[in-house]
Structure 1
Amino acid sequence: MPVAGAARIVLTAAERHRLKKAAYGHKTAHQARMRAQVVLRAARGRSNARIAHETGLHLDTVRTWRGRFADGGLPALADRKRSGRPVRFTPVQVAEVKALACQLPAETGVPLSHWSCPELAAELTARGVTGSISASTVRRWLRQDALKPWQYRSWIFIRDPNFRAKAQRVLDLYARTYEGEPLGEDEYVISSDEKTSIQARCRCHPTLAPGQARAMRVSHEYGRGGAVAYLAAYDVHQATVFGRCEATTGIVPFMTLVEQVMTQEPYASAKRVFWVVDIGSSHRGKKSVDRLAARFPNAVLVHTPVHASWVNQIEVFFSIVQRKVVSPNDFTDLTQVRHRLRAFEDRYNATAQPFQWKFTTSDLDDLLARLDRHTLTDRYQESSVALAA
């Protein structure tokens, strides 16, 4: 019987561009790359035998993909749908797997803190929901609904009844406003707090500097050289840090930090200096407000709400200290800790710029509204469960 001639391939500019991208792309699957190369060579008028020789493919394979493209164009280069093997699990079983993943293990009598795919697979088999099932199958089903029962996030309720008013006062100060009035040139905002228990971990072996294709290496074993508390005050608008190390935190160390800042210019002669602090024991309640005002009449203590230290900008500076100074913790003694913290202050103040604080009162209102919606939803669900019981 006569052999049919090779199909003639004519490409448009768009088809040629897509085929070249598939044929030479680093992330293209091997099968798609070879099919694109077959079509590109066929478009140059080469015979099937020559294409098979150049690509290393079988002659029948070349003939197949050349013919498919000639009949159906680019879509024809994709795999055709296959019937596959019969379905082993019913939709009901899949739904039961997802329902179990959405339950806490303790509620089902399983002594686990959270589910993993192997644990779910074993539990499904033990309950007789399914026969033998692999963890990868369970993972594929959970992925369909973006279920990840092995992950968790913590949350906390707002307990301060005056949360918005207190938070707004702090956010307004960052925007250079207090009680609806703009701050003057001789008014300053200081963010302050304590970073407790900075340890001096004396490594048992010297730290190795990084090298080619090698990260810095720090010995896991260490001796404890004590700990210090780092107290810092950050001028929000001037981007200036004032810090000191103390053996412990408390009223006296905090007032010593205040003394360090308020006895130097421009704060000593300022009209008002606002001190933003949390409700830690060193500066809690009305007594701390009165104590600060009695010592420095131009100082105004402003407390953040309960569980809202994230609105205190000094925490941003402390995160920088943790990354750039403390970690990895490798000090010979506490003296080295103090010297490095002090030297870092000078280095930071030389080039620091104010933080680009983007959380405004509008964002605060959006956050509180979103929390209210969650609270109402939780209460409705609790009421529904109680009525059902």
Structure 2
Amino acid sequence: MSGRVADAVVLSDEEQVFLEAQVRRHKAARSLSDRCRMILLCAQGLQSKEVANRLGVHEHTVGKWRRRFVKDRIEGLTDEHRPGRPRTVSDDQVADVIERTLHTTPRDATHWSIRTMAAESGLSHTTIRRIWTAFGLQPHRSETFKLSTDPLFVDKVQDIVGLYMSPPNRAIVLCVDEKSQIQALDREQPVLPMAPGVAERRTHTYIRYGTTSLFAALDIATGAVIGKCYKRHRTTEFLDFLKKVDAAVPKGPDVHLVMDNYATHKAPSIKAWLARRPHWHVHFTPTSASWINQVERWFAELTRKQLQRGVHRSTTELEADIAAFIKAHNENPKPYKWVKSADEILAAVKRFCQRTEQTLCAEL
């Protein structure tokens, strides 16, 4: 008895070129390139068994793709759509999880966790994770905010951002502020150094050896910093720091100071000292808007690199390390690039206020 006659494979020029191109492509799917090799060999007149022996596959696999190609040509070499496993979670269940997450809390906690929501809803914790991920819900996270209530908020933002993005010609713009109550801390037990596979370890308890306050002025054009530590941060110390800044900056150009509304900055003696220097101009930041003062960004860098993990057994050691950090920074200073215009900042604040108002109205 004769066996089943295999379907003859005859290729057009376009099909020949496409199949050979898929075989040569490095990024083609392995399954597709293997099927193309089968069809090319079948087109040479080889039987399915011979093709299977050459490629190391089963004879029935070659026969399957031979028949698919003869019937549907190139389209027959692609995988058919597979519906997959039927859904076990309905839209109503998903909506119920989202509703509970947004508008309720568990009896024994302030926010839902994946497993408490799973126990409450009767779904698996992996299903809850997928739902929260799909809708961007993160109940474990919480952020803080504070809106400025300064009646001159818009004017001050436009003024200071204008200084950053378009400073006056031949003028010096300095961002001034103080970082008060910097603590000289040591751990109660020795710090265990880092080792391969082991992070640095330290006790959570500490011994405090006093505090110091740092006054700093950041030149936005160069990134250089003028800084000095004081035991206290009163008007007397601030006036002494302004005199240090006056001695450090070149004589002649106008000096623009960006400062916050701390009472020390507005003391009568400070006003009198500035009044005797008409080329000095003060720009006060809006209340509750320290983010607009660029020196705060430098303070964050100082904290991260020097203070956060530093060990100091006296304020003298602490002040020496701060002075060394300033000196090293000024050897290769880099200015911070301000990219947000005043209009963009105000528009973002407006959108946030509108969203907050809508949320409060919805809850009421």
Answering whether residue 290 of structure 2 is matched by residue 309 of structure 1, we say yes
Q: Are the equivalent residues in 1 in contact too, given 2:260–2:286 (CA < 8 A)?
A: yes
Look up the equivalent residue of 1:78 and give its one-letter code: D
Task: Name the counterpart of 1:91.
Answer: 91
Look up the equivalent residue of 2:147 and give its one-letter code: F
Tell me which of 88, 95, 110 is aligned to 2:107: 110
Q: Distance in 1 between matches of 2:220 and 2:39?
A: 67
Structure 1 pair 302/17, CA: closer, same or farther in 2 (3 Å)?
farther
Q: Are the equivalent residues in 2 in contact too, given 1:15–1:74 (CA < 8 A)?
A: no
For 1:242, what is the secondary structure of its paired residue? strand
Tell me which of 18, 22, 36 is aligned to 1:16: 22
Q: Distance in 2 between matches of 1:372 and 1:206?
A: 46
Q: Distance in 1 between matches of 2:124 and 2:242?
A: 62
Answering whether residue 79 of structure 2 is matched by residue 78 of structure 1, we say yes
Look up the equivalent residue of 1:97 and give its one-letter code: V
Deviation of residue 12 (structure 1)? 0.3
Structure 1 pair 57/252, CA: closer, same or farther in 2 (3 Å)?
farther
For 1:263, what is the secondary structure of its paired residue? helix
Look up the equivalent residue of 1:159 and give its one-letter code: T
Q: Are the equivalent residues in 1 in contact too, given 2:19–2:37 (CA < 8 A)?
A: no
Q: Are the equivalent residues in 2 in contact too, given 1:51–1:62 (CA < 8 A)?
A: yes
Answering whether residue 116 of structure 2 is matched by residue 119 of structure 1, we say yes
Deviation of residue 352 (structure 1)? 1.5
- Unpaired stretches in structure 1, ≥5 consecutive residues: 24-32, 126-132, 178-182
Q: Distance in 2 between matches of 1:40 and 1:278?
A: 71
Q: Distance in 1 between matches of 2:27 and 2:172?
A: 59
Q: Distance in 2 between matches of 1:67 and 1:377?
A: 62
Q: Deviations over 1:171-190 (max 9, x none)?
A: 2222455xxxxx352x3221
Deviation of residue 305 (structure 1)? 0.5
Q: Are the equivalent residues in 1 in contact too, given 2:117–2:128 (CA < 8 A)?
A: yes
Q: Distance in 2 between matches of 1:84 and 1:231?
A: 65
Tell me which of 213, 225, 228 is aligned to 1:241: 225
Look up the equivalent residue of 2:177 and give its one-letter code: D
5 Å-filtered alignment, 1:122-141, equals 122-125=119-122, 133-141=123-131
Tell me which of 245, 250, 256 is aligned to 2:234: 250
Task: Name the counterpart of 1:275.
Answer: 257
Tell me which of 205, 211, 214 is aligned to 1:230: 214
Range with greater deviation from structure 2 (235-244 or 270-279): 270-279
5 Å-filtered alignment, 1:1-389, equals 2-5=3-6, 8=9, 10=16, 12=18, 16=22, 20-23=26-29, 33=30, 35-43=31-39, 45=41, 58-61=58-61, 63-64=63-64, 67-68=67-68, 71=72, 73=74, 76-78=77-79, 80-82=81-83, 84-85=85-86, 87-105=87-105, 110-125=107-122, 133-176=123-166, 183-185=168-170, 187-202=171-186, 204-205=189-190, 208=193, 217-221=199-203, 223-226=206-209, 227-266=211-250, 269-270=251-252, 272-283=254-265, 285=266, 287=268, 290=271, 292-293=273-274, 298-331=279-312, 333-374=314-355, 377-378=358-359, 381=362, 385=364
Look up the equivalent residue of 1:120 and give its one-letter code: M
Deviation of residue 165 (structure 1)? 0.9
Deviation of residue 197 (structure 1)? 4.0
Deviation of residue 59 (structure 1)? 4.7
Q: Distance in 2 between matches of 1:321 and 1:287?
A: 31
Equivalenced residues, count: 350
TM-score, normalised relative to structure 2: 0.78
Q: Deviations over 1:216-254 (max 9, x none)?
A: x42222643534332211122243211122334333332
Instruction: Give % identity.
Output: 24
Deviation of residue 44 (structure 1)? 5.1
Q: Distance in 1 between matches of 2:164 and 2:328?
A: 24
Q: Distance in 2 between matches of 1:233 and 1:146?
A: 41
Deviation of residue 170 (structure 1)? 1.3
Q: Which has the higher contact order (CA 8 A, sep 6+)?
A: 2
Q: Distance in 1 between matches of 2:48 and 2:142?
A: 57
For 1:190, what is the secondary structure of its paired residue? strand
For 1:219, what is the secondary structure of its paired residue? coil
Q: Distance in 2 between matches of 1:243 and 1:308?
A: 22
Q: Deviations over 1:151-210 (max 9, x none)?
A: 333333331121011122212222455xxxxx352x322111122344444354456467
Alpha carbon RMSD of aligned pairs, Å? Answer: 3.6
Q: Are the equivalent residues in 2 in contact too, given 1:192–1:275 (CA < 8 A)?
A: yes
Structure 1 pair 151/368, CA: closer, same or farther in 2 (3 Å)?
closer
Q: Distance in 1 between matches of 2:80 and 2:202?
A: 53
Task: Name the counterpart of 1:26.
Answer: none
Look up the equivalent residue of 1:2 and give its one-letter code: G
Q: Deviations over 1:69-89 (max 9, x none)?
A: 66464675435324635x544
- Unpaired stretches in structure 2, ≥5 consecutive residues: none
Look up the equivalent residue of 1:115 and give its one-letter code: W
Q: Distance in 2 between matches of 1:220 and 1:210?
A: 14
Structure 1 pair 242/77, CA: closer, same or farther in 2 (3 Å)?
same
Deviation of residue 314 (structure 1)? 0.4
Q: Deviations over 1:114-149 (max 9, x none)?
A: 222222111123xxxxxxx20111222334433333
